[in-house]
Structure 1
Amino acid sequence: MSHEQQGSRLIQSRRTLLTTGAAAATLFSPGLAFAASGDMSAIRKAAEQGYGASVKRIQDWIALPSIAAEDRDMDKGADYMMALARDAGFQQIEKVPTDGYPGVFATLDVGAKRWMGIYFMYDVKQYDPAEWSSPPLEAQVVDKPGFGKVIVGRGAVNQKGPEATFLAALHAIRAAGRKLPVNLVLICEGEEEIGSPHFRQIVTRPNVLAALKKCEGVVIPAGWQSPSDGGVTVNLGAKGVIEFELIASGAKWGRGPKTDIHSSEKARVDSPAWRLVQALQSLVSPDGNTPVVDGYFEKVRPLTAREKELLALAGRQLSEADAKKALGVEHWIDDLSWDKALERLASQPTMNIEGLVAGYTGPGGKTVLPGRAVAKIDSRLVPNQTMEDSVAKIRAHLDKRGFQDVEVKVSGGYDPTETDENSRLIKAELNTYKRLGAKTTIYPRLAGSWPGAVFTSAPVNLPAGQFGLGHGSGAHAPNEYYVIESSNPKVEGLVGATMSYVDFLYEIAAIR
């Protein structure tokens, strides 16, 4: 399906709503008057005419990888983000220094009644080109069976594709000669992929905080439509996260070698690698599925009655088979039922090993006894846990068991986030999706994490979440992609996704 067909389909969908009395009465929302004003068709035409430029914007952005974990092109990434904002019409743009890598703050003031906050990240995850079907920075457009034309590249869906699509919406509004219905505050960081360790410094700068205080809420653009039914999920929060390393070494321990030695010495020399394994095992139940850190569940808030109700509804709306297929798994923990698996996903803190490194890991064997071993770990947090309290408990747990020498090196993280289901932000998301005909599931908590807690907690105290039509997948993995021309009638391509942001901004402008 071409992008012109994408636009045609959604126009027809909206016209059906506007001309069918019963449907209009049922689905009427404040933004519908804007949608019916004639602006939408003009903006859609501009979006279609700007399709080529929109594709190139994504490709060019992917070509510049800013990778915080590798200290790669971070200043260039911030400068490029500033240029993108300026090109999209933002008037006041500044690079915001932090104790780490810089962020970007920008405002677009059109004199509208309301303000909306938009969160961007300009950094991406690391990649190994050998694992990719096409070079990860070339952003090639390829045909993907069952999906259509997609851009393949690091950052395609996480997050440059959806973010560039939001920018395409601003370009389309301006090209159509229409006025943006809300003022915008753009907050961008370059450290999301390392746990946003300095993001609060950006948000709490006096001028940034003052601008955010005017906003109805904050959203991060997303492209998460289900390929099976085109459905989207409105999350009322997200888990927090701690990213850290556990490091066992002969140097710290005072036992075992300070550097790698011959493995024959294991008969008489202690092993830091086994020391690390023992420390790791102390953190979880024997099956590895539940944290057993002392006091880790003390602050965990049980699911509310409403959250359980939403999860039960989600269990009927979402496909277990699709979820397992997407993950490449055949069983849930303990062979849980679908409903129980969803409850556990939303309610349980985790302790996950991302990677283990010790000694020689190349081809063949190399008989060494490593002097140092490292485990890269992330722990997902749920309300009412906090990052600070959880790190302290991990440290105390290890110390109590004699692992004082095992280092806990925290690289980043943040608290869980929650947003009121009755906030104008959530209502606007639901109204927009409903008007566009997207099947919607309200979910209590995203199992993944984003630094939304910086917005939902003091001193900002705003609702925050994700929004957007379109589809992509492969975040953090090889062959990450973002759909630009959809062959799936249930999923939007680039033009349809662009228009979803336009529609959402109109809704925010008018919702009561």
Structure 2
Amino acid sequence: MTRLHRLLSAGLVVAALTQPAVAQTPNRAELEKAVAARHGVTVKALQDWIALPTIAAERRNVAEGAAYMVRLAQEAGFVNAKVVPTDGLPGVFGTIDVGAPVTMGVYFMYDVKQFDPAEWTSPPLEARIVDRPGEGKAIVGRGSVNQKGPEMAFLAALHALKAAGRRPPVNIVLVAEGEEEIASPNFHQIVQNPEVMAALKRTAGVFIPFNAQDRDGSAGVNLGAKGAVELQLIVGGETSNRYPKSDTHSSSHARIANPAWRLVKALDTLVADDGYTAAVDGWMENVKPLTARQRELVEQLSKRGSEADAKKASGGVGRWLGDDDYRSSIERLISRPTINIQGLVSGYSGPGGKTVLPSRAEAKIDLRLVPDQTRDEVVAKLRAHLAKHGFDDVKVNVSGGYGPNQTDENAPLIRAQKAVLDRWKIPYVINPRLAGSWPGVVFTGPPLGLPAGQIGIGRGGGAHAPDEWFLIESSDPKVAGMKEQTLLYVDLMYELAKQGRR
């Protein structure tokens, strides 16, 4: 089949898209009509959700965001959905129990990244629908693709089932958090809640709704993701009496230490002279090498898409680290842990000069981890490294984080995903590990030991950046819009009901 869908004036999803899955999803035409009939309602619901941002870093709309997530879940069929408190921002938990033999776990995040409206061409909370040349109609707004758009598509699948007068073919457990964008410091508390833990133990796996199509229409199946730790390194009057308590005149540097210089010196010890190889003692000792199968998958990934497109999507970079070729850069992306400086903050940065000696310097750091590294291990090694090099005046403030996750490609959740993509005739590659991060380790690690992954089709972009967008109607026959993504989740439920019986 050469087309995923055609756009009809009536707005219906056509047989060219849906024919392959009919055998697994009974009376599917009925569901297609339900999805199409609710499309306008679904888009409006997404726009309304974008208009209420929960921003963990700013503690913005904490209670409101959780309450709204409960409402969305209840309307979709999680009638018992409720807020789960933590030491930080709350989460949400709910179940749909239809007495099915198989249970599906779904992870949501309802928080979004910060934004500066001045950097956007379309107001970040208005969720305007814009034309993207060559792609179709997209919603532009903070959280549209990361992750409210894909999550709304999954909720729309539940609404479509209800509108068609039927129940899901699987039981469903929903867990949602409001702190993913600050590295999920308290999400483990939600999962460790006895009621939540008992429900998750019955699942065949947990997935996060996701956009996973490239411009050429091909999709990706991710078998894991790197872990992430967010922290700050701080030097100043609050960490040692050798620095001033408040900014002072720069002439004082003749007899007073500058915390910015001290921080720069500390940062320089964390990496080798090449500027990227981690130099923290013991940093690589628990890094698990790629298997032969994972290297085979890297080779397949290197033949997907184009290197030029990958560089464009990576901020317009001109060359990779170490002047790597494309394949080597992908292997590095998947297999190497990193120590990254997100930002440096100190002193005066306005127009002209101010001739001050700053009282404080801070580096915002993120660490990306691979199997078999853990959050506690790398934080301990970082602290020990700074102490060994005499930086006792550098404060390490860990604000969140978790380890990497990995899932076997033969797990029922992954088999179901691949089976649906095969029936839709969507070409895909298997990615051994996503370079980005999500807290899937709370599911894949002990005590649950569940499969986990990101599942979906369709497109979007600009996560964490200005003009974030999510494709709702595709003009490209190779790429799915929101209706198609919704139908894929319907098919996934039926396929997992088959694959997950055990």
What is the TM-score with the length of structure 1 in the denominator?
0.94
Contact 1:156 1:482 in 2 (8 A): yes
Higher alpha-carbon deviation: 328-337 or 173-182: 173-182
Q: Does 1:487 align with 2:475?
A: yes
Q: CA deviation at 1:313?
A: 1.4
Contact 1:239 1:380 in 2 (8 A): yes
Q: CA deviation at 1:3?
A: 5.5
Q: Please state whether the residue corresponding to 1:150 is helix, strand or coil.
A: strand
The equivalent of 2:175 in structure 1 is 187
Match of 1:241 among 219, 228, 245: 228
Q: Hey, what's the Cα distance between the residues in 2 that align with 1:4 and 1:460?
A: 45
More helix by share: 1
Contact 2:6 2:477 in 1 (8 A): no
Q: Hey, what's the Cα distance between the residues in 1 that align with 2:77 and 2:329?
A: 45
Match of 2:460 among 453, 472, 480: 472
The equivalent of 2:237 in structure 1 is 250
Q: Does 1:289 align with 2:279?
A: no
The equivalent of 1:20 in structure 2 is none
Q: Hey, what's the Cα distance between the residues in 2 that align with 1:349 and 1:11?
A: 45
Amino acid at match of 2:485: A
Q: Hey, what's the Cα distance between the residues in 2 that align with 1:7 and 1:333?
A: 47
Q: Hey, what's the Cα distance between the residues in 2 that align with 1:396 and 1:435?
A: 52
Q: Which runs of 5+ in 1 are unaligned?
A: 18-30
Q: CA deviation at 1:459?
A: 1.2
Amino acid at match of 1:233: G
Q: CA deviation at 1:4?
A: 4.3
Q: Hey, what's the Cα distance between the residues in 2 that align with 1:196 and 1:341?
A: 28
Amino acid at match of 1:252: T
Q: Hey, what's the Cα distance between the residues in 2 that align with 1:193 and 1:267?
A: 42
Contact 2:7 2:475 in 1 (8 A): no
Q: Please state whether the residue corresponding to 1:142 is helix, strand or coil.
A: strand
The equivalent of 1:335 in structure 2 is 323
Q: Deviations over 1:270-296 (max 9, x none)?
A: 110000001011001122211110101
The equivalent of 1:316 in structure 2 is 303
Q: Which runs of 5+ in 2 are unaligned?
A: none
The aligned runs of 1:427-438 (5 Å cut-off) are 427-438=415-426
The equivalent of 1:28 in structure 2 is none
Match of 1:396 among 371, 384, 400: 384
Q: Does 1:84 align with 2:69?
A: no
Q: CA deviation at 1:5?
A: 7.3
Q: Does 1:74 align with 2:62?
A: yes
Summarize the Cα distance change of 1:454–1:69 in structure 2 as closer, same or farther, 3 Å threshold. same
Match of 2:23 among 8, 33, 38: 33
Q: Does 1:271 align with 2:271?
A: no
Q: Deviations over 1:235-278 (max 9, x none)?
A: 11110011000001134233232211112222332110000001
Q: Hey, what's the Cα distance between the residues in 2 that align with 1:51 and 1:127?
A: 28
Q: Hey, what's the Cα distance between the residues in 2 that align with 1:212 and 1:389?
A: 27
Q: Hey, what's the Cα distance between the residues in 1 that align with 2:131 and 2:260?
A: 45
Amino acid at match of 2:16: Q
The equivalent of 1:221 in structure 2 is 209
RMSD: 1.6
Amino acid at match of 1:438: I
The aligned runs of 1:346-385 (5 Å cut-off) are 346-385=334-373
Q: Deviations over 1:477-496 (max 9, x none)?
A: 00000011112222111111
Q: Please state whether the residue corresponding to 1:161 is helix, strand or coil.
A: helix
Higher alpha-carbon deviation: 440-449 or 318-327: 318-327
Q: Deviations over 1:433-475 (max 9, x none)?
A: 1111211110110000000000001111100000011111000
Amino acid at match of 2:431: Y
Q: Hey, what's the Cα distance between the residues in 2 that align with 1:310 and 1:249?
A: 47
Match of 2:88 among 92, 96, 100: 100
The equivalent of 1:230 in structure 2 is 217
Question: What is the percentage of aligned positions where both structures have the same residue?
Answer: 57
Q: Please state whether the residue corresponding to 2:328 is helix, strand or coil.
A: helix
Q: Deviations over 1:274-327 (max 9, x none)?
A: 000010110011222111101010100111111111111111224212111211
Number of equivalent positions: 495
Q: Please state whether the residue corresponding to 1:252 is helix, strand or coil.
A: coil
Q: CA deviation at 1:6?
A: 11
Q: Deviations over 1:64-121 (max 9, x none)?
A: 0100100111110000000000110112211101011110000011222211000001
Contact 2:287 2:370 in 1 (8 A): yes
Q: Does 1:298 align with 2:285?
A: yes
Q: Please state whether the residue corresponding to 2:277 is helix, strand or coil.
A: coil
Contact 2:229 2:402 in 1 (8 A): yes
The equivalent of 1:210 in structure 2 is 198
Q: Does 1:444 align with 2:448?
A: no
Higher alpha-carbon deviation: 351-360 or 246-255: 246-255
Q: Hey, what's the Cα distance between the residues in 2 that align with 1:388 and 1:491?
A: 41
Q: Please state whether the residue corresponding to 2:239 is helix, strand or coil.
A: helix
Q: Hey, what's the Cα distance between the residues in 2 that align with 1:97 and 1:440?
A: 39
Q: Does 1:262 align with 2:254?
A: no
What is the TM-score with the length of structure 2 in the denominator?
0.96
Summarize the Cα distance change of 1:146–1:321 in structure 2 as closer, same or farther, 3 Å threshold. same
Contact 1:293 1:397 in 2 (8 A): yes
The equivalent of 1:425 in structure 2 is 413
Q: Deviations over 1:384-418 (max 9, x none)?
A: 00000100000000000000110000000001001
Contact 1:13 1:437 in 2 (8 A): no
The equivalent of 1:12 in structure 2 is 16
Q: Hey, what's the Cα distance between the residues in 2 that align with 1:123 and 1:365?
A: 38
Amino acid at match of 1:377: I
Q: CA deviation at 1:9?
A: 6.3
Higher alpha-carbon deviation: 168-177 or 343-352: 168-177
